[in-house]
Structure 1
Amino acid sequence: MIVGMNHFTVLAEDPQKTLAFYVGLLGLREGPRPDLGFPGAWLYSDGAPSAVLHIVFGRALPAQRAGVIDHMAFSAQGLKAVKARFDERGVTYDLRRQAGAGTWQLFSHDPNGARVELDFDPAETL
């Protein structure tokens, strides 16, 4: 019945810091968003026909930030450059290789506390 993941939604406390993380650091781009009656942004990955991340601004954040969702994961490319960008900007992350498959996994938190995973092909090098 389910054929794929549509999008994640993040409630953002600080719009500028949130967009700096997802657009400036991770390379998503802002794109078309209908007037939903509240402020926000829809972010797209290169070549994606629909938004992969919806951000809502101005809504109260829940007391338990992470809720029941542990993290969101994106397939990524350019491990060496991404790692350098995180290092340049002083963004904390945990980089590891997945046992067995060898997939590189970079874990970080966005400015709102959402845990974000970037997965890189095992053939990439540092």
Structure 2
Amino acid sequence: MPISHIEHYNLRAERSMLETLRDFYVTVVGLQVGYRPLSSYGYWLYAGERALLHLSEARPGDPREPHLRSTFDHVAFACTDLPACEAHLRNHGIDYRYAEVPATGQRQLFFSDPAGNGIELNFAATPDS
């Protein structure tokens, strides 16, 4: 049973937080709302043709509190155009941390979504970096 890649990840929250998360991941991160084959309330967010993030509504009696400490730290996305991305985050008032991986030249931006989930944006090294 070899695993080839992550298929998607799921965030579960009450409806009002789902709306906030949807807006954040569309407006700030750049995913798009797409086809969702389920009849329950929620969203599938895509990068191009690929479904990456499933937002699903917490069931009654299953509250999901934002900003809880757990073992989950962040999800990482491969991106392009670091200067444009940094300007985009600043324009939306998003506080982020910049880092580099010295061995590869990869550059990274770290920030959190409105529920406190970590996000990492990765930018491959360029020939002039």
Identity of aligned residues (%): 32
Match of 1:44 among 28, 46, 65: 46
Instruction: Kindly indicate whether structure 1 or structure 2 has the higher relative contact order, using CA contacts under 8 Å at least 6 residues apart.
Output: 1
- Contact 1:79-1:124 within 8 A present in 2 as well: no
Query: Are residues 1:95 and 2:88 paired?
Result: no
Q: Distance in 2 between matches of 1:86 and 1:125?
A: 24
TM-score (norm 1): 0.85
- Residue 109 of structure 1 deviates from its aligned partner by 0.3
C-alpha root-mean-square deviation of aligned residues, in Å? 2.3
TM-score (norm 2): 0.83
Greater share of strand = 2
Q: Distance in 1 between matches of 2:85 and 2:8?
A: 22
Q: Distance in 2 between matches of 1:28 and 1:12?
A: 18
The gaps in structure 2 that reach 5 residues or longer are none
Which aligned pairs between 1:1-126 and structure 2 lie closer than 5 A? 1-12=2-13, 14-37=17-40, 39-48=41-50, 51-59=51-59, 60-62=63-65, 65-123=68-126
The gaps in structure 1 that reach 5 residues or longer are none
